[in-house]
Structure 1
Amino acid sequence: MGSDFKTIPVIDIGPLVEKIDDPKMANDPEVKEVIRMLDKACKDAGFFYVKGHGIADSLVKEVRDITHKFFGLPYEDKLKIKMTPASGYRGYQRIGENITKGKPDMHEAIDCYREIEPGTYGTLGKPLEGSNLWPDYPSHFKELMEEYLCLLRDLSRKIMHGIALALGGSADAFEGLLTLVNQDDDIHALEVLDVATQVPGLYRYPLGQDLEIFSFSICTPKIRSGFDLEVLQNAF
């Protein structure tokens, strides 16, 4: 992966999104150009902005506004959905509660994952069994977040289809794979070290690398807050 890029690439994935259900999309000239740009961005920068993703700016604003309201609540109110082992490690996580290599992370978050029915994965999946915990206030928090996360999951899959084609595989080559943000042991986060300006209407994608576990996450284009890391990251 290159390190001498000067700007984060901006890719219009509209053609890929529009033709995602077409089994012959890989032969479409516009989709081919998107695939070429994804390939180059992943090799040269490891980060890229996308536009033409189809997620409304108004929805993104609603999500930001409602999460700001929740994290602005008194500590006691946020503890009503406190994360515990009994909750499948879902729910509110206070500042300093998450420990990385013996050091507390300075963020607060709501951790959420795909909901798992008891017994689905036997003893392996037992620690994460359960339903996500959502606050009663702000109202409609659960409905709004579930709508947003569903859109992000769908968007992630569409982009991974493009990356799979860029690697010479079939569009669905990554379907069913475990996805985690992964980085070297001495690197605690993936982020653009130079200034990454806020670009309205765009999402930034950092791409990790590993031979067995594929890394991919979605965030709005700025240095990520605790909300970005813990809620948006778990959308895929």
Structure 2
Amino acid sequence: MGSDFKAIPLVDISALVEKVDHPGMADDGDLLDVIRELDRACKDAGFFYVKGHGIAESLMAEVRDVTRSFFQLPLEEKRKIRLTPRTGYRGYQRVGQNITKGKLDMHEAIDCYAHIEPGKYGDLGKHLEGDNLWPDCPSNFKVLLDNYARLLRDLSRKIMRGIALALGAPSDAFEGGTAGDPFWYLRLIGYPVPASISQEQRTNTGCGAHTDYGLLTLVNQDDDICALEVRNLSGEWIQAKPVPGTFVCNIGDMLEVWSNGIYQPTLHRVFNNSLHYRVSVAFFYESNFDAVVEPAELCREKTGGVAKYDKVVYGEHLVKKVLNNFVL
């Protein structure tokens, strides 16, 4: 799948947000238009902007602002919540600590995950057990981000209901055993100006080319810096230019498996070649942590009747990636 798209499509999902949980929604013309647009965007690009999502633009800006305030702190302050295996790979990582395909990424970040009770998933979940690490400064950090994650989890569920309908499935197809108790994680990312990075450490890559691990990603990016790039079928890198008030959404590995390849994640990367520090806050909406994800029967029927993908235990997929993501 995929195409030689030259721009990221924009989808107004206001009808979806308002009506997808209502009885009789399947006959609503406005909602059907949104579903057709989502289907086209997932097939053609695997990326799309969403507007009409119901999240206040002022909240989106506040989340970016508090993230930027934290990254402006001295390194010794930021390292008080540093990420280690003992923190469940939660917390702060310095510039160059994250790795994509064996190469250092020129960004710093805070990783936050949904809570995992000790022992809940046995050996599968032991690496990510624990609570998130929150800084003392800014003082509203925890309250703001907890609320933001809650709102984006609900928004993501609604978008996934639209994607289920786009695939011809019931609206709740991704709930229950697949994502009825969705795992999520949140990355607050800062991309320094290249000249501020030491010569020994410097590369030109803010984050190397990759696909995301789960079902759906929502990115809240600075309004005035072009840095995110998406690769089309011809191998061209297309800029996901900021559109104020929107989220940039993209589909992940688990949706590719579930849809039997009808929808496929798209490689993307980040280059901050501007003269300004860039902030991006990515929310990842995933399967249930212990879900066994496999091609859905209705998607197999649409693609020749044969499963093109093996079963994947989402938690195993995530943990394998996380354990290879950092220089510790």
Q: TM-score, normalised by structure 2?
A: 0.62
Find the partner of 2:210 among 170, 189, 193.
189
- C-alpha contact (below 8 Å) 1:109/1:227 kept by paired residues: no
Secondary structure of the residue aligned to 1:188 is strand
CA pair 188-6 structure 1, distance change in 2 beyond 3 A: closer
Q: Which has the larger displacement, 2-11 or 114-123?
A: 2-11
- C-alpha contact (below 8 Å) 1:149/1:232 kept by paired residues: no
CA pair 110-61 structure 1, distance change in 2 beyond 3 A: same
> Which AA in structure 2 matches 1:89?
Y
> C-alpha displacement at 1:223, in angstroms?
7.0
Structure with a larger share of its residues in helix: 1
CA pair 188-133 structure 1, distance change in 2 beyond 3 A: same
d(CA) in 1 for partners of 2:151, 2:40: 25
Deviations 1:39-77 (A, max 9, x none): 111112221111110000110111111110100110000
CA pair 33-206 structure 1, distance change in 2 beyond 3 A: same
Deviations 1:73-105 (A, max 9, x none): 100000010111111110001111123333222
> Which AA in structure 2 matches 1:233?
F
Aligned residue pair count: 225
Q: Which has the larger displacement, 136-145 or 3-12?
A: 3-12
2:76 is the alignment partner of 1:32: no
Paired residue for 1:17? Answer: 17
CA RMSD of aligned residues (A): 2.8
Paired residue for 1:184? Answer: none
Secondary structure of the residue aligned to 1:233 is strand
- Percent identity between matched residues is 59
1:125-164 paired onto structure 2 within 5 Å:
125-164=125-164
- C-alpha contact (below 8 Å) 2:83/2:93 kept by paired residues: yes
CA pair 48-81 structure 1, distance change in 2 beyond 3 A: same
Paired residue for 2:289? Answer: none
- C-alpha contact (below 8 Å) 2:114/2:184 kept by paired residues: no
1:158-177 paired onto structure 2 within 5 Å:
158-175=158-175, 176-177=178-179
Structure 2 gaps of 5+ residues are 186-207, 212-228, 231-236, 287-328
- C-alpha contact (below 8 Å) 1:113/1:235 kept by paired residues: no
> C-alpha displacement at 1:215, in angstroms?
8.0
Structure 1 gaps of 5+ residues are 182-186
> Which AA in structure 2 matches 1:204?
V
Secondary structure of the residue aligned to 1:137 is coil
CA pair 140-89 structure 1, distance change in 2 beyond 3 A: same
d(CA) in 1 for partners of 2:146, 2:285: 9
Secondary structure of the residue aligned to 1:139 is coil
